[in-house]
Amino acid sequence: MNYNILKSKEVKINYRFSIINLIILFLLCYILVLLQGSFLPFFIFFNSYFNLIFILVIVINIIEGSKKYFAFFASIIGGFLLDIFYQGFLGIDFFGINIFFLLFLSILIKTTLSYVSIK
């Protein structure tokens, strides 16, 4: 009985923790997307500037490794915001293309990381 109560509390705490994480992630992505569109264009190197969401997704994937899935949320939120503010990617003008691309990138990194860790 006591064990069940403890378990339900743990689930609630984890749930709250993940919601807060997602809110923080959303705000972070939002700020990065705005920075990317309004601040970074003033600092162009070789005719291009950094895609901050792209970098964020790569960093989260590398940090959390292959067994956690938080990077997927980052890919969806980041991709969603990129689609809203800078719709289109590599000439493909379709809402959701950035989400697909970032998800694909996350899967690629995780697969690579899991392959490397097995070895």
Partner 1 sequence: MLFKSNFTIKFILLVVIFIFLINFFSFSNKIQNFFYNISFPVQKNFWSAGINFLDFYNNIFNIEKIKQENRDLKQRVNELEVININSFQIEQENKFLRQALNINLSKDFDLILSDVVSKNYSQDSILINKGKKHGIEVGFPVIAQEKVLVGKVEEVYENFSKVMLVSNKRNNFNVEIISGNWKDFISFPIFMIKEKFNSSNSSNSILCKATGKGNFKIELDLIPKEKEISKGDLIITTLLGDVLPKGLLVGHIIEVENVPTDPFWKVDLKLSFNLDDLRHVFVIKNEL
Smallest gap from residue 52 Cβ to partner 1 (A): 12
Q: Is 101 in the site for partner 1 (CB under 8 A)?
A: no
Place of tokens 């989260």: 60
Which residue stretch of 2-10, 15-23, 33-41, 53-61 sits at the interface with partner 1 (rule: CB under 8 A)? 33-41
Question: Each residue of 22-60: b (16+ CB within 10 Å) or e?
Answer: eeebbebbeebbeebeeeeeeeeeeeeeebbbbebbbeb
The site for partner 1 (CB under 8 A) is made up of 30, 34-35, 37-43, 66, 69, 72, 76, 81, 83-85, 87, 94-96, 99-100, 103, 107, 110-111, 114
